[in-house]
Amino acid sequence: MNEYDSQRISTLAEKVGYYKTDNINNIDCYVLNTCHIREKATEKVYHDIGRLKKNYRNKKKPIVLVTGCVAQAENNEMLKREPYIDAVVGPQSYHNVPKILSKLHKKKEKLNFTNFDVVEKFDELNKVKNLDSKVSSFITIQEGCDKFCNFCVVPYTRGPEYSRSPEEVIKEAKDLILNGTKEITLLGQNVNAYFYNEKEKVFKFSNLIMSLDKLKELKRIRYTTSHPIDMTDDLIDCYKNAKKLMPFLHLPVQSGSNKILKSMNRKHSREEYLSIIHKLIKVKPDIKFSSDFIVGYPGETEKDFYDTISLVKEVNFINSFSFVYNPRPGTPASNLERVDRETQMRRLTELQNLLVDIQIKANKNEIGKLTEVLIENRMKKQTKYFGRNENLTPVVINNVREKDIGKIIGVKIQDCNRNTLFGTKVNMEREAAA
């Protein structure tokens, strides 16, 4: 979502005369768009600003904006601790960037824009065309979270759940398609909680997917990130009915232990999670999954940890994110007694080894097979091209041309490493006949 937000911030800044540059040594304005999920996110911001300060010691100071969830969480503290920062701008206030830059251009002052007015934000953003011209683009359709998992800061930094109107989303999709987009990933902290209700007319996430599925030039639809309790039957049926919905789902589970899931306030059990997976496989037998895991959550015993290991083996996630638990200030879990670091690290290593084994096995299994790849771009300083298959796995292809960008082509996989498949373009029809 930060990638989407950064792109939108950049377009907004252009309205008042600022343009993106790769030359960090000659800038008038520095925008640091931050994420609060990772450990030590706040310290990383001060570290980055410190480096910038050093770089500009003998030069004109650029305007410095810190945007995103760290700005939201730290607020005035940040302006006090680091006077080099001119403004903090929360994730629901970045539509004000043109106003902020104009103000700062005229007068030196400290600005704090950390309101939670998500309705105003999207009203403003809708007036500014999304100019992204990538083959694969994002659209934020939903923001915020009402789930309040006990370890997570998102409900405090992004605010309550909010869904954009289907008309706005479809218009943005059409604009992107006109710019050359072939694949759209719908974004939201709880994307599948999308629910729009106007004048008693209800529009659910499944309705949105089916509407996008009808857009002629669009070739692929994805979404992230989902919560298991919002994987409703109508959404599961989209895997049968929406031709462009890709057979890959990132569905965070966090733990395989019912005790830990309860303590995390995840609102679903291991059995309920597995039942969703089985329903999805039933309607889409070739679907693949990835997930998020927190290891060493307060109270996690060896048995709880091995419940997670057995869940991983059962689902065969092809690509996942795993971390040791680290408390986030202000969250309920931060007050609980912690599992010691050594145990956390031992468990994380064991889990990651298993996840890597499964991933490599899945990639090796592709060798010799044909896969459909959407070509995204030529690789930097290389003649090879980059794309992704239906399961979102990166594929590097050696014999395609510039004119293939944006096309879905058949690729025979010849090799792989842990993260990537390597192959050659083939004529699918000829290959099938042979």
**Residues engaged in binding ligand SF4 (CB under 6 A):** 145, 147-149, 152, 154-155, 189-190, 227
Q: CA–CA distance from 195 to each of 100, 208, 289, 422 (Å)?
A: 32, 9, 24, 40
Orientation of helix 270-283 relative to helix 302-315, angle to 10°: 0
Q: Which residues contact 14 (CB under 8 A, 6 or more apart)?
A: none
Comparison of 144 and 410: residue with beta carbon closer to ligand SF4: 144
**How many H helices and E strands in the chain?**
15, 20
Comparison of 45 and 152: residue with beta carbon closer to ligand SF4: 152
Strand 195-198 relative to strand 288-290: parallel, antiparallel, unpaired? Answer: unpaired
Comparison of 227 and 250: residue with beta carbon closer to ligand SF4: 227
Comparison of 87 and 154: residue with beta carbon closer to ligand SF4: 154
Comparison of 98 and 188: residue with beta carbon closer to ligand SF4: 188
CB of 325 to ligand SF4, least distance (A): 12
Comparison of 147 and 250: residue with beta carbon closer to ligand SF4: 147
Phi, psi dihedral angles at 25 (to 5 degrees): -85, 0
Taking the C-alpha atoms of residue 296 and residue 325, their distance in angstroms, rounded to an integer, is: 6
Cβ atoms 215, 177 nearer than 8 A? yes
* Omega before 343 within 30 of 0, i.e. cis: no
CB of 91 to ligand SF4, least distance (A): 13
CB of 148 to ligand SF4, least distance (A): 6
CB of 61 to ligand SF4, least distance (A): 36
CB of 331 to ligand SF4, least distance (A): 9
CB of 254 to ligand SF4, least distance (A): 7
Terminal-residue alpha carbon distance, the chain: 44
Comparison of 88 and 152: residue with beta carbon closer to ligand SF4: 152
Taking the C-alpha atoms of residue 236 and residue 34, their distance in angstroms, rounded to an integer, is: 33
Q: Which residues contact 150 (CB under 8 A, 6 or more apart)?
A: 263, 264, 265, 331, 332, 333
CB of 35 to ligand SF4, least distance (A): 12
CB of 205 to ligand SF4, least distance (A): 15
Comparison of 62 and 155: residue with beta carbon closer to ligand SF4: 155
Taking the C-alpha atoms of residue 403 and residue 371, their distance in angstroms, rounded to an integer, is: 19
Tokens of 166: 């289907």
Cβ atoms 378, 386 nearer than 8 A? yes
Taking the C-alpha atoms of residue 82 and residue 66, their distance in angstroms, rounded to an integer, is: 11
Largest CA distance in the chain: 71
Residue carrying structure tokens 């390597």: 422
Comparison of 145 and 251: residue with beta carbon closer to ligand SF4: 145
Taking the C-alpha atoms of residue 328 and residue 197, their distance in angstroms, rounded to an integer, is: 34
CB of 252 to ligand SF4, least distance (A): 7
